[in-house]
């Protein structure tokens, strides 16, 4: 599960970065919001939710969950353990909630500019949160 979660993260990051850049370019250049943009946003939403399901499956099998469950005060006292047991899962959920909110909000607006702006803001915030809480030292060990 850990390997699948790590490799799916590469795909997710690539798609999310592409979606945010596409939204920013569409907003700046005042492009028309097309079916391609709609599908890109939907694919990114689906990819994030798949990553969430894989991540939750891995989390409850991981040693970090067991450490947190056994002795929360010790786990919270060690930054590396706290990152993997608490910060990473919690902030990834927050990021996915933001991306989901962006998807829902874009459907309620009519103008292309507003749709691109919604994607750029919500998907962009999700991307920033994801990048801030990736356990980079562990992630590069999987390569």
The pLDDT of residue 74 is 85
pLDDT band for position 141 (cuts 50, 70, 90): low
What SS3 string covers the chain?
Answer: CHHHHHHHHHHHHHHHHHHHHHHHHHHHCCCCCCHHHHHHHHHHHHHHHHHHHHHHHHHHHCHHHHHHHHCHHHHHHCHHHHHHHHHHHHHHHHHHHHHHHHHHHHHHCCCHHHHHHHHHHHHHHHHHHHHHHCCHHHHHHHC
Give the confidence band of 64 by pLDDT, cuts at 50, 70, 90: confident
Predicted local confidence at residue 139, as pLDDT: 64
Higher pLDDT, 143 or 75: 75
Q: What is the pLDDT of residues 6-51, one digit of tens each?
A: 889 999 999 999 999 999 999 999 999 999 999 999 999 999 999 9
pLDDT (tens digit, 9 = 90+) per residue, 70-128?
988 888 998 888 898 899 999 999 999 999 999 999 999 999 999 999 999 999 999 99
**3, 25 Cβ separation under 8 angstroms:** no
With 0.85 as the threshold, say if the pTM is over it. yes
């Amino acid at each position: 599960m850990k390997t699948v979660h790590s490799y799916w993260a590469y795909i997710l990051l690539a798609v999310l970065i592409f979606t945010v850049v596409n939204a920013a370019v569409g907003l700046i250049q005042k492009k028309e919001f097309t079916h391609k943009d709609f599908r890109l946003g939907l694919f990114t939403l689906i990819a994030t939710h798949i990553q969430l399901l894989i991540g939750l499956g891995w989390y409850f099998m991981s040693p970090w969950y067991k450490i947190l469950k056994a002795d929360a005060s010790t786990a919270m006292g060690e930054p590396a353990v706290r990152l993997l047991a608490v910060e990473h899962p919690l902030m990834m959920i927050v990021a996915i909630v933001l991306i989901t909110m962006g998807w829902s909000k874009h459907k309620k607006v009519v103008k292309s500019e507003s749709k691109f702006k919604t994607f750029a803001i919500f998907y962009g915030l999700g991307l920033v949160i994801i990048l801030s809480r990736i356990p980079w030292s562990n992630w590069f060990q999987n390569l």
